[in-house]
Amino acid sequence: MTTNDVVVTGLGATTPLGGDVESTWEGLLAGRSGIAPLEFDWVEKFELPAKIAAQLAVEPTETLPRVEARRLDRCEQVAMVAARQAWADSGHSEDTVDLERLGVVIGTGIGGAITLLHQDDLLETAGLRKVSPLTVPMLMPNGPAAHVGLDLKARAGVHAPVSACASGAEALAWAWRMLRSGEADVVVAGGAEACITAIPVAGFCQARTMSTRNDDPTRASRPFDIGRDGFVLGEGAGIMVLERADFAAARGAKVYGRLAGIGTSSDGYHITAADPEGIGQSRAIAAALRNAGVDPIDIGHVNCHATSTPVGDVIEPQAVRRAIGDHPVLTAPKGNLGHLLGAAGAVEAIATVLSIRDSVIPATLNLENLDPKVQLDVVSGEPRKMHLTAAVNNSFGFGGHNVSLVFTSA
């Protein structure tokens, strides 16, 4: 390990499987599903075709002080919960890092949609005086990053990548660049999303991207399966504390592993559809390998973006084969978690790090009949024990955003 390496020293998460990293990881390995019927009146009122979602297992209001929670949008709440977990896990305090060398990068795909819609309702029904003066800070997409930055008093820069479902992974890539360039010694980075409300669900339904397997929620999200019919909307946050290796070593920090390399690209193809041959995705993977100085043969595992959509799930394996080869073992956590949009890449990056640490790859839930177009080894049924030294985490988003991250053992 060199002084210029970027290491992972803290992890935090709140997801549909659990209120922290440990319970989420246990849920993935146990094959639990976080998907259940939606019980909001707007589901029936608007006759929405999709009536299921992956909601948080633990409400953020169970962790955050009541007054603080009221001043935050739900996506800001989950970011704060996960960031405080990660910060505590890293062993840091205000005294362990110069605040001018501490950065924050937290991405979100949509931001404060719940606040925006609620405040619009108030304006329409009760008038201007009922609109909260905190409306803009609660709805702005940089809100999660801003609030975490304020909480930690970070002064090396607070950034908020917004690149749809690649936002959380792009935040980790941005943090990697900050650390490698010497702009910071420590960066708290990841993604947050919480937008399970009528307009996003209706919009995705109209785009025909969501599963309507409402009578069987736990089996609705089925990446790579021949019977998949769309993704299931989820919510949550995943945060990592990333540090320069020399800085972490000097303070005797525990190290989960290395964020060894990152790769980003854009398709230049379509606003919602990926390039059908996965060219942009394979370029992102190849760039991550180059930046990491890792040979394709050394990649034992790919944690896939696979969302359970009919088209998208067959494009990614093509990209993996082109950039890495036929040997990596694949998995797709969205069978358990649903699709956390801007938080997905960060939560799944945590799973990738833990797969390397624990030498085990969670099974892809609900994969019963592998699509014959997916000509790679996908873990199904039971987790697979496998010694890993390097793995890739992929995240792709509307607009043609592609992000790949290479993690290696410590």
Cite the active site residues: 165
Closest CA to 338 of 222, 198, 175, 202: 222
Burial class (CB in 10 A: 0-12, 13-18, 19+), 133: exposed
Region of 236 please: left (phi>0), alpha (psi -120 to 50) or beta: left
> Rounded to the nearest 5 degrees, what angle is found at the Cα of 126, between the Cα atoms of 125 and 129?
145
- Pairing, β 401-408 against β 257-266: antiparallel
- 3-class secondary structure per residue, the chain: CCCCCEEEEEEEEEECCECCHHHHHHHHHHCCCCCEECCCHHHHHCCCCCCEEECCCCCHHHCCCHHHHHCCCHHHHHHHHHHHHHHHHHCCCCCCCCHHHEEEEEECCCCCHHHHHHHHHHHHHHCHHHCCCCHHHHHCCCHHHHHHHHHHCCCCCEECCCCHHHHHHHHHHHHHHHHHCCCCCEEEEEEEECCCCHHHHHHHHHCCCECCCCCCHHHCCCCCECCCCCECEECEEEEEEEEEHHHHHHCCCCCCEEEEEEEEEECCCCCCCCCCCCHHHHHHHHHHHHHHCCCHHHCCEEECCCCCCCCHHHHHHHHHHHHCCCCCEEECCHHHHCECHHHHHHHHHHHHHHHHHHCEECCCCCCCCECCCCCCEECCCCCEECCCCEEEEEEEECCCEEEEEEEECC
192 vs 145: CA distance, rounded Å: 9
144 vs 298: CA distance, rounded Å: 36
